[in-house]
Amino acid sequence: TINVPADISFEAFRHVYMDAYEKGLKGCTTYRPSDVRGSVLSIDEAPVPIPAPAPEQSALPLDAPAAAMHYEKDGVVYMSKPLEREGVLPGFTYKLKWPESDHAIYLTINDIMQDGRRRPFEIFINSKNMEHYAWTVALTRMISAVFRRGGDVTFVVEELKAVFDPRGGSWMKGRYVPSLLAAIGEVIEQHMVDTGFIAAKDGHPVRDALRAVAGDPPPPHDGPAVTALKGCPRCGERGMVRQEGCETCTSCGYSKCS
């Protein structure tokens, strides 16, 4: 196969095939470049495109919104970077008395200032009731992790208030609270309102959850009175009855004497 120039003469073209014949070649192919076909072989190097320089990415300012702080670490893209904690944070501690528990629950919520706005940063839940120890520790760590990501964290309140205890809730200050988690959600909501993080909602007296005491009677209702048994701290069933100065569970036999 021979690539010949476009201006090759007839004599030169004839000599190509004659030379091939004399050398004993069984076949010979010639390519002559044209504007339509171009050239099969070419020594002209195509220009290498020079990539445009990537635009410089400026660092985000320290006061940038948390929602805009996307960063990558170890190949994982994170939606936002956790807010940094200062050495000392202001906060409040709330006392919550759940009617089904012999001991009060204390909630401490610490805040930080971001863009001139006070927002929750972390939460701690403590109680002498060891029945709730495991899930309260897990709950505080998860909620604190969400708070430290910044952005709109009000959904935490809505999720907690939507939790219903299958064993039933409790009446607190004439208001039915579906679960202990819902009561904790109301405490967090009231804290956000008091610190100006969210606006107060009409018709939601969440402050009652902070001052609720055991033994509040439910509002009057039609029909025969129904007495709800206290939940058992061991098995969770509502089967605690008082007999001879002791509270005994009719389901598992757990007993506690005063």
- Over residues 179-194, the mean pLDDT reads 92
pTM of the predicted model, to two decimals? 0.52
- The model's pLDDT over 193-250, given as tens digits with 9 standing for 90+, comes to 998 888 887 544 445 444 433 334 444 444 444 445 677 777 667 677 877 778 888 7
Q: What is the 3-state secondary structure (H, E, C) of the chain?
A: CEECCCCCCHHHHHHHHHHHHHCCCCCCCEECCECCCECCCCCCCCCCCCCCCCCCCCCCCCCCCHHHCCEEECCEEECCCCCCCCCCCCEEEEEECCCCCCCCEEEEEEEEEECCEEEEEEEEEEECCHHHHHHHHHHHHHHHHHHHCCCCCCHHHHHHHCCCCCCCCEEECCEEECCHHHHHHHHHHHHHHHCCCCCCCCCCCCCHHHHCCCCCCCCCCCCCCCCCCEECCCCCCEEEEEECCEEEECCCCCEEEC
Does 186 share its domain with 100? yes
- With contact defined as beta carbons under 8 Å apart, do 164 and 179 qualify? yes
- Over residues 73-89, the mean pLDDT reads 71
Does 205 share its domain with 95? yes
Looking at the domain assignment, is residue 140 inside a domain?
yes
Range of the domain at 124: 91-218
Of 30-34, 119-123, 132-136, 186-190, the least confident:
30-34
Does 136 share its domain with 207? yes
Does 214 share its domain with 237? no
Does 119 share its domain with 213? yes
Does 193 share its domain with 141? yes
**What is the tally of structural domains in the chain?**
3
